[in-house]
């Protein structure tokens, strides 16, 4: 639930003030009427038995009700109903697709909370609309290139071509289909993470063993490039979502292998500080300039110094999203030609 430090959160409800106001008005009205009644008797205008106490009290309640009703209508029209009308008009604009309305927050607690939540809603809707627009633009571009390649080679297959060329074209089409399949899988994974409500299953598991298994799983990739893989891991059990954590290590290892030159080196280290663990992936790869470092966690971003177009540009975006869900952080340190270090900090106990 969203927290707020606005002053309206500490104010008493409007109903409290209205109840107190009605009580004061009733007491004051009864006192005034009683005083007028006694004065009228002293002046001989009324007789002492002309008005009983219960009738006097009833009259006081009627007068106080009239006064309270008039005051509430005036104040309500000035503060409460005005804010409600503003929220209603702004809601109509939001329903029409305009997410820009931002209302001034009144001091009254209930109305203030309503307006504050409305403003927060429009801000989130505006952000989601921007993300959706950028997402559609990016994914359209990512789909367009492999689809154009598939279409081109599929047309060539309809022509009279040698058997070896036909096999080559089929292989290219298959690879492009695999690219699209990976892209769709990553898009669905990212969408699932962005809509996660934090209710994840958690358990105790061996972090060092998990990282070691991911290194062995990707062994064909780094062995093919004759990369020296150096895991400097320490025995450590953490409490978290094992499946999501596994995706983090796989994405970071895959990136390190992809951008490390043949016969390079990748070092994986672990350090424990209080209730957190830091896992660093250091490679001797091509490195990144400052511009690339500021965008690498964005969806579909492909660095200018990327030597291979392999990949969807979603791996690091997924990694960052997982870490946000699990309460962790990631930092990058790199320079062109000097390799890259990706450092992940996660709590040892991330239960909620």
pLDDT (tens digit per residue) in 133-172 = 656 666 666 677 778 888 888 888 888 888 888 888 888 8
- Out of 2.30.29.30, 3.90.650.10, 3.30.565.10, 3.40.50.300, the CATH code matching 203-347 is 3.30.565.10
Domain positions in the chain are: 7-125, 136-194, 203-347
DSSP 76: I
Helices (H), the chain: 14-42, 53-75, 81-95, 109-157, 163-194, 207-217, 219-224, 242-258, 290-293, 315-326
Cα–Cα nearest to 270, from 219, 225, 211, 217: 211
**CA–CA gap between residue 60 and residue 253 (Å, rounded):** 81
Res. 13: pLDDT tops 90: no
> In this predicted structure, what is the pLDDT of residue 307?
43
Which of 68-77, 198-207, 210-219, 254-263 is predicted with the least confidence, judged by mean pLDDT?
Answer: 68-77
pLDDT in tens, 258-315: 899 999 999 999 999 888 999 999 999 888 888 888 888 876 666 655 444 455 567 7
pLDDT of residue 8: 45
For the structural domain made of 136-194, what CATH number should be given? 1.10.287
Q: Which residue has the higher pLDDT, 52 or 310?
A: 52
List C-alpha distances in Å: 310 to 142, 147, 214, 302. Answer: 12, 15, 20, 10
Is 329:323 a contact under the CB 8 Å cutoff? yes
Tell which wins on pLDDT, 25 or 285: 285
pTM for the model: 0.54
Task: Give 56-114 pLDDT, tens digit per residue.
Answer: 666 767 777 777 777 766 766 566 666 777 777 888 887 877 777 777 766 666 667 77
* Per-residue pLDDT at 7 exceeds 50: no
Distance CA 304, CA 87 (A): 46
pLDDT at 234: 94
Task: Give the number of residues written for the chain.
Answer: 352
Helix (H) or strand (E) holding 205: strand 203-206
């Amino acid at each position: 639930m969203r927290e707020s430090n606005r002053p309206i959160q500490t104010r008493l409800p409007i109903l409290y003030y209205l109840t107190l106001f009605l009580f004061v008005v009733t007491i004051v009205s009864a006192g005034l009427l009683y005083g007028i009644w006694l004065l009228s008797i002293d002046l001989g205008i009324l007789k002492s038995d002309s008005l009983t106490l219960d009738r006097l009290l009833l009259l006081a309640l009627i007068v106080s009700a009239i006064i309270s009703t008039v005051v509430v209508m005036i104040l309500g029209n000035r503060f409460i109903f005005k804010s409600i009308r503003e929220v209603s008009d702004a809601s109509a604009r939001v329903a029409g697709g305009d997410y820009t309305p931002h209302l001034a927050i009144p001091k009254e607690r209930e109305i203030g909370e309503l307006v504050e939540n409305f403003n927060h809603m429009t801000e989130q809707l505006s952000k989601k609309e921007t993300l959706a627009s950028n997402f559609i633009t990016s994914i359209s571009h990512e789909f367009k290139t492999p689809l154009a390649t598939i279409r081109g080679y599929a047309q060539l297959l309809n022509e009279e071509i040698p058997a070896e060329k036909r096999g080559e074209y089929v292989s290219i089409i298959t690879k492009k289909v695999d690219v699209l399949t990976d892209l769709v899988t990553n898009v669905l994974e990212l969408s699932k993470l962005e809509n996660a409500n934090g209710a994840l299953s958690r358990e105790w598991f061996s972090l060092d063993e998990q990282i070691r298994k991911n290194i062995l799983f990707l062994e064909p990739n780094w062995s093919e490039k004759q990369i020296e893989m150096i895991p400097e891991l320490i025995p450590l059990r953490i409490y978290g979502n094992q499946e999501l954590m596994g995706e983090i290590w796989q994405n970071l290892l895959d990136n390190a292998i992809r951008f490390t030159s043949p016969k390079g080196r990748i070092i994986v280290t672990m350090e424990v500080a209080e209730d957190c663990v830091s896992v660093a992936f250091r490679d001797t790869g091509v490195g990144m300039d400052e511009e690339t470092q500021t965008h690498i966690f964005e969806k579909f971003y492909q660095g200018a110094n990327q030597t291979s177009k392999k990949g969807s540009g979603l791996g690091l975006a997924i990694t960052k999203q997982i870490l946000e869900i699990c309460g962790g952080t990631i930092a990058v340190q790199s320079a062109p030609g000097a390799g890259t270090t990706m450092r992940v900090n996660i709590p040892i106990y991330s239960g909620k």
